[in-house]
A and B are shown apart, each in its own frame.
Chain A
Amino acid sequence: MLTNILTKEDTHKQLFTMGHTGCSGCAQSMAVKLIMEVLGKNTIATSATGCLEVFSTKFPESSWNIPWIHSLFENSAAVASGIEAALQITGKKEGVTVLSQAGDGGTADIGLQALSGMFERGHDVLYVCYDNGAYMNTGYQRSGLTPYDSFTTTSPSGKISFGNNRPKKYMPEIAMAHKIPYTAVASTGYPIDLQKKVKKTLSIKGPKYLQIDVPCVPGWKYEPRYSVKIAQLAVQSGLYPLFEAEYGKVVSVKKISKRVPVEEYLKLQGRFKHLFKNEAGKAEIEKIQKIADENIEQFGLL
């Protein structure tokens, strides 16, 4: 039975409101809503240049009912560091969350240096990486977090290519290597788990890194109704392990409840459709299955 149907008025009262121009089925906007429900109004947020910034703040409109700032592509973590420093020195930090946000490119590629600096200096900031596996805002170009064999517009599949020929950079491990108090990986396929992790960050001082798998309808090329399902299949196949780590050590994992072969995950997405054309593609799918198997073993997901 549905008990929580929101009215238009209710959604306008939310901290991240309706009316933005995100695509139908956008998992990133779902993640932002879930996060803001937990963090509450005593939050100051930064956003890197990217989809979220563009679709939520088309002047003079803004979906943010909290103080929010966008500066540039690569400096979300540094701007958040400055905000945190200003709050600390003026005695206004207590009870206020500084949330720093970026996509996978803004985090793992162009923003990695600023992020590493923020971790190393120990700022009390929650950093969220919305991982949709490519530069979606500019038209689906490859990033360091693009998964193996994915089609992107700069790593297209072709007569002699299966798309992106490099494995996904393992960004959570880079965060963990900084021995920060808390690193977690979550998914929009599991909102309760996601919100539990966000809630945990509220009780931890220091840098926190949260990476969230956010399927992208136009970039991954699937029907909008599959956003949640695809995110779940990523977890259930072992391709997107969800876990928590403290000071560089894994402390909990979300077990796979119903294991599926990676094929189930891949076949729903246009970005992998070139793998289903011939025998050579089949061999590639086996390689992807191996990546999932290794994840399952490494994190003890079964």
Chain B
Amino acid sequence: MKKVLEGSMAISDSIRMAEPKVISAYPITPQTHIVEHLSQMVADGDLKAEYVMVESEHSAASVVLGASACGVRTYTATAAQGLLYMEEVIYNIAGMRLPVVLTVANRAVSAPISIWNDMQDSMALRDSGAIQLVAENNQEAYDMHIQAYKIAENPNVMLPVMVCVDGFVLTHTFEVVETIDHIEKVREYLPPLNMEYTLDINNPFSFGTVGEPSVYIETRFRLSNAINNSKSVIVDAANDYREMFGKYEGALIDPYKMDDADTVIVAMGSVLGTIKDVVDELRESGKKIGVLKIRSFRPFPADEITDALKNIKNAIIIEKAVSLGKGGILSCEIRDALYQHRINSVNVNGYIMGLGGRDITPKNIYDLIIKAEKQEDVDGEFYGLNNELLNKVF
């Protein structure tokens, strides 16, 4: 059924369809609407789950960790400082191979404090072992959460999946979303969670034991393999979803108008909408330009990205995050992927922009395209700075 839904409503509705048994969250802007809707569903009996109202994000993640270890499906959501506060637990959940699904309503990190959107929060957890998928719009946010459970709970994966959704831009914006009418179809796509090892009084196991130097590195190697091998599971989850529900927004990546393109803009999340509008216009005027959407940031689809970019001239990478002391994160990883395949014919132009909710406008994107055609290799340049503010004392 087609509905006009706020991003948060779309997400909470798809979580309802996935039927988690334990939900735990701590309020933080811009995640709040998601968990408010879920609380209401529990209060109305529309979702039969325990909603545990915790005193912190650290405990929210710990509650779903404990519940997940009992073999039940779980959900949590957070943003920014909340995610950083959870970080220790997310690493732990990944290390214990528990299929927790969480939404990150992407938001800038402090200081200065900002409630507005960028991706510095989820990027900080890129090495945690959690799978990171990034949604472009509300429809994809809806579909991606159901796929997230399918991926997380695959016996060969068994990892937390973080669904990244741009705060405010998606969470607080209304769009047309086509929802699934029958929960039975979701149950068919997403069978009940069946974990091999759980906290069960009839079959006792010890979880989270001490890993001495003689065993530790092997557990991390297996974790590394699990997330690397989840690529095919992510692809299958997207294909199966298309087959069952007729919706497809890409799997690991999603190329847009890339055939014959000389210049390609690479990005993640809601900014892709603006980029695609610009590209549509330029295509009409005959410019050979395309878009590459990165849908899975972890596992990082290095081979797929290389394959998509290897024949182009200019790659423009737009990212709403920065690795302080290095520069771009996505641009660095794309450069690494190209280098690994010994491709040095692509000019990689990496820009850091949109931090703390600064709008990325069509005009900005036109400008970047012109710049890219004139110059070679920009690495993690801050774009769109107000020079007047740079020398001011705050």
Interface residues, chain A, with chain B CB atoms under 8 Å away = 41-44, 46, 53-54, 57-60, 62, 64-72, 74-75, 78-83, 85-90, 96, 113-114, 116-117, 120-121
By the criterion CB–CB under 8 Å, are A67 and B205 in contact?
yes
By the criterion CB–CB under 8 Å, are A69 and B207 in contact?
yes
B362 at the interface (CB under 8 A from A): no
Question: What is the CA–CA distance of A72 and B203 in the complex, to the nearest angstrom?
Answer: 23
Closest to A81 in B: B63
Candidates A46, A53, A64, A82; contact of B52 at CB < 8 Å: A82
Candidates B48, B92, B215; contact of A59 at CB < 8 Å: B215
B281 at the interface (CB under 8 A from A): no
By the criterion CB–CB under 8 Å, are B66 and A78 in contact?
yes
Which residues of A sit under 8 angstroms from B200, Cβ to Cβ? 67
Instruction: Write out, one digit per residue, whether chain B residues 69-100 have a CB within 8 A of any chain A CB (1) or not (0).
Output: 11110100000000000001100100010000
By the criterion CB–CB under 8 Å, are B52 and A68 in contact?
no
What distance in Å separates the Cβ of B47 from its nearest Cβ neighbour in chain A?
Answer: 11
By the criterion CB–CB under 8 Å, are A83 and B88 in contact?
no
By the criterion CB–CB under 8 Å, are A68 and B58 in contact?
no
Question: What is the CA–CA distance of A74 and B56 in the complex, to the nearest angstrom?
Answer: 12
By the criterion CB–CB under 8 Å, are B59 and A81 in contact?
yes
Which residues of A sit under 8 angstroms from B205, Cβ to Cβ? 67-68
By the criterion CB–CB under 8 Å, are B21 and A86 in contact?
yes
B45 at the interface (CB under 8 A from A): no
Question: What is the CA–CA distance of A86 and B68 in the complex, to the nearest angstrom?
Answer: 8
By the criterion CB–CB under 8 Å, are A86 and B67 in contact?
yes
By the criterion CB–CB under 8 Å, are A66 and B66 in contact?
no
By the criterion CB–CB under 8 Å, are A59 and B210 in contact?
yes
Question: What is the CA–CA distance of A41 and B74 in the complex, to the nearest angstrom?
Answer: 26
Question: What is the CA–CA distance of A72 and B63 in the complex, to the nearest angstrom?
Answer: 12
Question: What is the CA–CA distance of A114 and B58 in the complex, to the nearest angstrom?
Answer: 8
Q: What are 26 A-B interface contacts by the 8 Å CB criterion?
A: A41-B201, A41-B204, A44-B199, A44-B201, A54-B210, A57-B210, A58-B209, A62-B209, A66-B201, A67-B203, A68-B206, A69-B69, A71-B96, A71-B208, A75-B58, A78-B66, A79-B62, A82-B52, A82-B63, A82-B66, A82-B69, A83-B70, A83-B199, A86-B21, A87-B70, A114-B55
By the criterion CB–CB under 8 Å, are A78 and B58 in contact?
yes
Question: What is the CA–CA distance of A248 and B184 in the complex, to the nearest angstrom?
Answer: 49
By the criterion CB–CB under 8 Å, are B55 and A86 in contact?
no
- The size class of the interface chain B forms with chain A is 35 or more
- Given A96-B201, A116-B55, decide whether A59 and B70 contact each other with a Cβ distance below 8 A: no
B234 at the interface (CB under 8 A from A): no
Question: What is the CA–CA distance of A113 and B209 in the complex, to the nearest angstrom?
Answer: 24
- Given A78-B59, A121-B53, decide whether A83 and B69 contact each other with a Cβ distance below 8 A: yes
B122 at the interface (CB under 8 A from A): no
B64 at the interface (CB under 8 A from A): yes
B49, B92, B209 pick with most chain A CB within 10 angstroms? B209
By the criterion CB–CB under 8 Å, are B201 and A59 in contact?
no
B22 at the interface (CB under 8 A from A): yes
Question: What is the CA–CA distance of A46 and B390 in the complex, to the nearest angstrom?
Answer: 51
Instruction: Write out, one digit per residue, whether chain B residues 187-217 have a CB within 8 A of any chain A CB (1) or not (0).
Output: 0000000000011110111111111100100
Candidates B21, B65, B201, B211; contact of A79 at CB < 8 Å: B65
Candidates B66, B92, B206; contact of A81 at CB < 8 Å: B66
Which residues of B sit under 8 angstroms from A86, Cβ to Cβ? 21-22, 50, 66-68, 70-72
Closest to A114 in B: B59
Question: What is the CA–CA distance of A70 and B62 in the complex, to the nearest angstrom?
Answer: 11
Question: What is the CA–CA distance of A219 and B199 in the complex, to the nearest angstrom?
Answer: 33
Closest to B210 in A: A58
Closest to B95 in A: A71
A65, A72, A75, A85 pick with most chain B CB within 10 angstroms? A85
B54 at the interface (CB under 8 A from A): yes
By the criterion CB–CB under 8 Å, are A82 and B65 in contact?
yes
Instruction: Write out, one digit per residue, whether chain B residues 310-344 have a CB within 8 A of any chain A CB (1) or not (0).
Output: 00000000000000000000000000000000000
Question: What is the CA–CA distance of A75 and B86 in the complex, to the nearest angstrom?
Answer: 11
By the criterion CB–CB under 8 Å, are A117 and B92 in contact?
no
Which residues of A sit under 8 angstroms from B199, Cβ to Cβ? 44, 67, 69, 83
